[in-house]
Structure 1
Amino acid sequence: MDDVRIDLITVDEAGELLTVRRAAFVTEAQLYGDPNLPALTQSLTELAADIERPDVVTLGAWSGHRLIGSIRVELEAERATLGRLAVVPDLQGQGIGTQLLMAVLQYLPEQTKEVWVFTGQDSKQNISMYAKHGYEHQYDQHTGDLTYAYLRRILGEGGDEDEEETVAG
């Protein structure tokens, strides 16, 4: 989609973000047979508090006035951890997730050296998308009944600066 605008999400948009995340994560819950994924159980109050954290950047993708996707970035020293990448079900598979993933680079502090992302081990489409954009599988972690795959991308390798210019333009 070419008419997508990516920008920071504010606490005023928390309700809309909660709706987008819940809609997007239903398919993950079905894949894993677990309706209690954190993205589905987070309350509006918890989400609003998360948006206001100084070490978290939450980006949204809009088509017109409609919020159609989001991604959360937690910043820690020289590391950024991506999570909660969500695209509304009716627009999945149209490159919006990739646009969000690439836009993150603009919002990282200069000292960020590596970007981590995690997803369910059985979420093959997600793992494939991350791998396509330079993320390499590092390890799996078991949490309750779920196994998460952790992938990492080292910044400064593979022409990240060129990608940042493309995203900003």
Structure 2
Amino acid sequence: MVNGDLTLPPLQEGLDDVTASLSSWDTYVVRSAGRLVGSVRGRLDGRTWEIGRLMVAPDLRGRGLGRHLLEHAERVAAPEATAYRLFTGAASTANLRRYKRAGYSVREVLDGPSGPAVLTKPRRG
């Protein structure tokens, strides 16, 4: 358990929560031979494109799929978005490193056992 906390929102979502999110988030998935192997979602919050629930099947990590999903989420952002925002656990050092390589900066760490860390990136072009 990287963040030492099982109360992280992704770990608490039930089927009803996931179903409800489909009406307020644009959700993108990657399948291989019918198997769900990755997903990411995005939505506009003011002028910020919020990226959430980026996930890759554990046996496929390290192959660039997460980077591809993040880049896709950025590409499909609403035209009026001027920045991107995402969240990760404050102790998720591998995630923080990946997001920093992709141009994100930690803006703040929220209260709670796991943070979370809030990262942002200006939208260019």
Please report the TM-score for the alignment, with normalisation by the length of structure 1: 0.69
In the TM superposition, what is the alpha-carbon distance from 1:87 to its structure 2 partner? 0.8
Between the aligned partners of 1:114 and 1:33, the Cα distance in structure 2 is 30
Does residue 149 (structure 1) correspond to residue 120 (structure 2)? The answer is no
List runs of 5+ in structure 2 lacking aligned partners: none
List runs of 5+ in structure 1 lacking aligned partners: 1-29, 162-169
Instruction: Write the mapping of 1:1-169 to structure 2, written as runs, cut at 5 A.
Output: 30-53=1-24, 56-143=25-112, 145-156=113-124
Per-residue CA distance 1:91-137 (angstroms, 9 max, x = gap) = 11111110100001232111110001111111111111111111112
| Number of aligned positions between the proteins | 125
Contact 2:29 2:39 (8 Å CA) reproduced = yes
Q: CA RMSD in A?
A: 1.4
Structure of higher RCO (CA pairs closer than 8 Å, 6+ residues apart): 2
SS at match of 1:86: strand
Deviant stretches of 4+, over 2 Å: 32-37
Instruction: Please identify which structure carries the higher helix content.
Output: 1
Between the aligned partners of 1:140 and 1:35, the Cα distance in structure 2 is 17
**Identical-residue share of aligned pairs (%):** 30
